[in-house]
Structure 1
């Protein structure tokens, strides 16, 4: 069984929307969220701007979601089962 370790473009767009809404409602900075998530500020800025290079690691995606109060569910979409 293989487990995804990267994030799709659709998931990144969704994350960008979540970040925009969170920052608009709380006034927190990208730096504050990055520090709480344990993610490099540059990566967080790329998430916010939708300018990620390649596919970000799943771990950074999940850390960011948790830092803005989103619950995460990892689903194994392996159709071979």
Structure 2
């Protein structure tokens, strides 16, 4: 398995959190790790857990066309699976 920036993916944070003395170094390492793997927004909640909901075609003009009454299927399960896999 390859490595990223000299760190094994299984041990990305080399500083051990061991009380207040090591917190600053540990937190800086963790922030760099999360940002480097584009995970920081999941931790902060900027990318929220998906919720189910129907998506309808709001561009309908006069209702005469079949395309105007089509209701798109919500891909909630796929979005939830993607979000959960990234969270893990």
Q: Same fold (TM over 0.5)?
A: no
TM-score between the two structures when normalised by the length of structure 1:
0.27
Bigger-Rg structure (1/2):
2
Q: Kindly indicate which of the two structures has a greater share of residues assigned to helix.
A: 1
Relative contact order higher in (CA < 8 Å, ≥ 6 apart)? 1
